A and B are shown apart, each in its own frame.
Chain A
Amino acid sequence: MMIDLILLICLVLAAFWAVVAARMLKAVVGLALTSVIVSILMFRMNSPLAAVFELSVCAGLIPVIFITTISFTKRLSWEAYLERKKEIFSRFWYLPVILVITVVLLSRYKIAADFILPQAPAVTDVRHVLWNLRQSDLFGQIIILLIGAFGVVTLFKVKQPKDKPK
Chain B
Amino acid sequence: MNETAMQAFWFFGIFISLLFIIGVYCILATFNLLRALIGVEVLIKGATLLIILAGYLTGNTALAQAFVITLIVIEVVVMVVAGGVILWVFRHNGAIDARKLTDLKG
**Interface on chain B toward A: helix, strand, loop, or mixed SS?**
helix
* Interface residues in chain B, defined as those with a beta carbon under 8 Å from any beta carbon in chain A: 2, 4-5, 7-8, 10-15, 17-19, 21-23, 25-26, 29-30, 32, 34-35, 37-39, 41-42, 45, 48-49, 52-53, 55-57, 59, 61-66, 68-70, 72-77, 79-81, 83-88, 90, 94, 96
Is A47 in contact with B61, judged by CB distance below 8 angstroms? yes
- For A, the interface residue count at a CB cutoff of 8 angstroms equals 78
Instruction: Find chain A residues with CB under 8 A from B13 CB.
Output: 106
Given A8-B15, A147-B77 in contact, is the A121-B59 Cβ separation under 8 Å? yes
On whether the beta carbons of A115 and B15 are closer than 8 Å, the reply is no
| Across-interface contacts of B45 in A (CB, < 8 A) | 15, 34-35, 38, 58
- Asked if A3 CB lies within 8 Å of chain B CBs, one says no
Binding site for B on A (CB under 8 A): 4-5, 8-9, 11-12, 15-16, 18-19, 24, 27-28, 31, 34-35, 38, 41-42, 45-47, 49-50, 53-54, 57-58, 61-62, 65-66, 68-70, 72-74, 91-92, 94-95, 98-99, 102-103, 106-107, 109, 111-113, 115-118, 120-121, 123-126, 128-130, 133-134, 137, 141, 144-145, 147-148, 151-152, 154-156
Q: Which residues of A lie under 8 Å from residue B74 when comparing CB positions?
A: 141, 144
